[in-house]
């Protein structure tokens, strides 16, 4: 089994090699002056959804062995709150160290924005981060009392031409083999999941004639006014793989977290990769992302244009970050040191605006605690920083992780304009088969 994941290990090693130069660079030592920071965060460690508990129990013989959680269903855990406070403290040390903010800063009314989706896990994440970064300030986390479409992937168009392009982009994710390539990749990861669950002896497997996850084809349903959905076994695999990843962070005994199995780091990555592929298919086709997160792109542009704004913190979901990066054409990446290679719990898309020599520059990064840092609730400091993976935009020239601000802004404008060119409101449901 470990040999089957050699490619994953090599990919992680290559990513570490590519990240090292970017992490070693100190922008201030190169003459850059930080002017503005925008953070789009995923919530930190949460509990699984109770609505999936019956399904999860039916997929395994390890009923009743799931972790006992410190919070209610889908809420931020105590561990997640502490980890997010630590990340806020790191941002405080980093930003005061480079002279961006003064010590014990109490910002003026328009200098900062903290905004989140309505869920407990997103509001609480923003509050914990604020308490770590700005402990002297009475920060208000703005949020609605209902689902905020700024943060979720809801389409407002579904013409046949639009969906055909979305499905072409989905197929391209599987390489030359198309969707079959995605299914073949999933088959390797499913084997780890089935082993951990003891799926072959589960009630679900028996009730469905011994069907295995890998025997099903991927079917995605795109609907106007709602998030994309799936009608295939990948949808059912998400619930236990998500719960096992959460147990990886919450349970100190990794053998217990894996129901008695000694999993390698690569095998934990395989469990998380099921969710990553699901997320890529659902929300990351660029054409779809431009549509579903048009308002977020406008919001980002507006924050950087707002007079007096220094720091913005928005808290949403893994799908929020994935969609924004797809919409602006970020190059594909796999984050080193994290079992969730795309949008780890508590991970942050950080967009920084710098000036140097009379010109402005942008740097885009994923900033996140490594899996070990998050598991062990390590104190993050400038001397023990979180991971920072510098992102690149397709077709945009950059040097040392920095691109010209006008090029970044042009990319935002291009994606916003692409949305404006599509017809809206055609209420049709499409299912790829």
Tell me how far CA of residue 303 lies from CA of 241, 306, 335, in angstroms.
36, 5, 27
pTM: 0.92
Are residues 279 and 308 part of one domain?
A: no
Widest Cα–Cα separation across the chain: 68
Are residues 297 and 278 part of one domain?
A: no
CATH number at residue 236: 3.40.50.1240
Residue 86 lies in a domain: yes
Residue 3 lies in a domain: no
Q: pLDDT tens digits for 387-396? A: 999 999 999 9
pLDDT of residue 343: 97
Q: pLDDT tens digits for 300-352? A: 999 999 999 999 999 999 999 999 999 999 999 999 999 999 999 999 999 99
Choosing from 283, 310, 345, the residue where a domain stops is 283
Are residues 294 and 274 part of one domain?
A: no
Residue 1 lies in a domain: no
Domain that holds residue 330: 14-65+72-155+287-431
- What Rg value do the Cα atoms of the chain yield, rounded? 21
pLDDT band for 286, please (50, 70, 90 cuts): very high
Residue 394 lies in a domain: yes
Residue 33 lies in a domain: yes
Residue 8 lies in a domain: no
Are residues 294 and 417 part of one domain?
A: yes
Q: What percent of the chain has pLDDT over 90?
A: 85
pLDDT average, residue stretch 362-377? 98
Choosing from 283, 305, 322, the residue where a domain stops is 283
CA–CA separation, 196 vs 230, rounded Å?
24
Are residues 260 and 244 part of one domain?
A: yes
Are residues 109 and 52 part of one domain?
A: yes
Choosing from 264, 283, 302, the residue where a domain stops is 283
Structural domains in the chain (count): 2
Please provide residue 99's backbone torsions phi and psi, each rounded to the nearest 5 degrees.
80, 15
* 380 touches 255 (CB < 8 A): no
Region of 103 please: left (phi>0), alpha (psi -120 to 50) or beta: beta
Q: What share of the chain is helix, strand, coil (3-state, %, to 5)?
A: 50, 15, 40
* 202 touches 58 (CB < 8 A): yes
DSSP 33: E
Q: How far apart are the first and last CA of the chain?
A: 31
* Residue 411, both tokens: 């990319």
Are residues 295 and 149 part of one domain?
A: yes
Are residues 427 and 403 part of one domain?
A: yes
pLDDT of residue 432: 52
Q: pLDDT tens digits for 190-211? A: 999 999 999 999 999 999 999 9
């Amino acid at each position: 089994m470990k040999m089957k994941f050699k490619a994953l290990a090599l990919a992680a090693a290559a990513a570490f090699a590519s990240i090292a130069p970017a992490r070693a660079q100190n922008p201030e030592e190169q003459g850059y002056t930080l002017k503005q920071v925008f953070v789009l965060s995923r919530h930190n460690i949460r509990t699984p959804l109770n609505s999936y508990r019956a399904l999860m129990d039916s997929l395994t013989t390890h009923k009743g062995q799931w972790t006992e959680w410190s919070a209610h269903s889908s809420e931020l855990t105590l561990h997640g709150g502490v980890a997010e406070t630590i990340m806020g403290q790191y941002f405080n040390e980093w930003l005061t160290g480079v002279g961006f903010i003064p010590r014990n800063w109490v910002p003026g009314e328009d200098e900062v924005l903290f905004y989140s989706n309505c869920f407990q896990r997103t509001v609480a994440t923003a509050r914990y981060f604020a308490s770590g970064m700005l402990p002297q300030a009475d920060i208000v986390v703005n949020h609605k009392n209902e689902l905020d479409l700024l943060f979720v992937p809801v389409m407002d168009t579904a013409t046949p031409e639009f969906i055909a392009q979305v499905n072409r982009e989905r197929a391209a994710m599987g390489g030359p083999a198309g969707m079959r390539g995605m299914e073949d990749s999933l088959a390797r990861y499913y084997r780890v999941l089935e082993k951990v669950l003891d799926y072959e002896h589960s009630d679900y497997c028996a009730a469905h004639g011994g069907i295995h996850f890998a025997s099903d084809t991927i079917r995605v349903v795109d609907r106007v006014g709602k998030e994309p959905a799936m009608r295939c076994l990948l949808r059912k695999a998400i619930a236990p793989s998500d719960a096992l990843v959460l147990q990886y962070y919450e349970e100190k005994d990794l053998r217990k977290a894996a129901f008695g199995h000694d999993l390698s780091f690569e095998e934990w990555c395989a469990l998380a990769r099921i969710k990553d592929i699901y997320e890529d298919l659902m929300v990351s086709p660029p054409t779809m992302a431009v549509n579903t997160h048009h308002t977020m792109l406008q919001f980002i542009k507006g924050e950087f244009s707002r007079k007096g704004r220094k720091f913005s913190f928005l808290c949403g979901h893994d799908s929020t970050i994935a969609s924004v990066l797809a919409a602006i054409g970020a190059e594909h990446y796999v984050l080193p040191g994290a079992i969730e290679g795309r949008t780890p719990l508590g991970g942050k898309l950080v967009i920084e605006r710098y000036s140097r020599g009379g010109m402005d520059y942008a740097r885009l990064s994923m900033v996140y605690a490594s899996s070990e840092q998050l598991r062990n609730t390590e104190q993050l400091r400038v001397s023990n920083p979180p991971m920072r993976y510098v992102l690149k935009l397709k077709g945009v020239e950059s040097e040392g992780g920095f691109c010209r601000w006008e090029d970044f802004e042009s990319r935002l404008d291009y994606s916003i304009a692409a949305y404006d060119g599509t017809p809206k409101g055609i209420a049709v449901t499409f299912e790829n088969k």
